[in-house]
Amino acid sequence: MTATAPGLRRIAAAQMRTAMTYRQNTFLLLMIVILNIFILSRLWTTLFEGRDAIGGMSQDTFLLYITIVNLQSWVFTNVSVHQYVYQRVRTGEVVFDLMRPVGFLPQLMAHMAGAHLFMALSVLVALPVVFWVGTLGAPASATAFALYLPSFLAGYVISVLLALLLALVAFWTVETSGFTVLYQLINQFFAGTMLPVSLFPEPLRILAALLPFQSTGYVPATVYVGRLEGGDALRAFAVQGLWILLLSLAVAAVWRRARRRIAVQGG
């Protein structure tokens, strides 16, 4: 572990430098996320007219949820790793990655860590704009904040595992952009970035409960605003833990098949 840690840190640092080189594009994409928060905030403000609450949430709580869940979604974005794996596989350079003392999957996780750190820092820079277009505030309570941190971390791990699964698709297909776009649409919807999962029609709520996406967005955000607490929060954490276990096993299984595929093709 100690032998590989410096290599992983170098990969993460290199990805941060790459993100900084193309920071104009990063901030443009962030502005699109902030514009989305602005549109959703104004839309839901209009829908709240004459109502004290929607789905048990007051207007302030609802708008805080919308802002937090969309910022989380931005920090968890993993498009760069999909493109990276696709390029490495298409050009055959992935063979050199496999020869490194650091495993390929840890390389990809370090790649994402560097990108996510830069995204998180970019959010901090853009906070004044977020304050203006959205609704930002403190967690519902100190307990809510204490529960939010592990929930956020678990959501992040789940998003990374999902990104690894999608990235590994590149070993079976020459084009991954379609899968990436479809994944982003499904992920955004079922993570609750447009409206809380609790407001979904019953068939969609059942489907959302069977998918991992709400564990990356909806669950941490509802913990933050105090809508998920006590026993309900602990059950949600247990579900997040289950998804981490299942997705870890899935990533390991898919990676074993991907490595065999490289060997069969002479890589």
Neighbours of 142 (CB within 10 A): 9
Q: Is 6 helix (H, G, I), strand (E, B) or coil?
A: helix
Which residues, 6+ apart, have CB-to-CB distance to 163 below 8 Å?
78, 81, 82, 112
CA dihedral 116→118→119→121, nearest 10 degrees, is 120
Count of domains for the chain: 1
Q: Is the pLDDT of residue 1 over 50?
A: no
Neighbours of 41 (CB within 10 A): 19
Which residues, 6+ apart, have CB-to-CB distance to 31 below 8 Å?
126, 129
In degrees and rounded to multiples of 5, residue 108 shows phi and psi of -65, -40
Encode pLDDT of 52-100 as tens digits. 898 889 999 999 999 999 999 888 887 777 778 888 887 778 888 888 8
Domain holding 40, by residue range, is: 5-264
More confident residue, 208 or 116: 208
Question: What string of H, E and C letters represents the secondary structure of 203-251?
Answer: HHHHHHHCCCHHHCCHHHHHHHCCCCCHHHHHHHHHHHHHHHHHHHHHH
DSSP secondary structure of 37-53: HHHHHHHHHHHTTT-SE
To which residue do tokens 């920071």 refer? 23
Q: Which of 41-45, 159-163, 180-184, 249-253 has the lowest mean pLDDT?
A: 180-184
The whole-angstrom separation of Cα 212 and Cα 223 is 17
The whole-angstrom separation of Cα 195 and Cα 111 is 31
pLDDT at 35: 87
- Write the single-letter amino acid at 100: R
DSSP secondary structure of 113-162: HHHHHHHHHHHHHHHHHHHHHS-----SSHHHHHHHHHHHHHHHHHHHHH
To which residue do tokens 């820079």 refer? 125
pLDDT at 245: 97
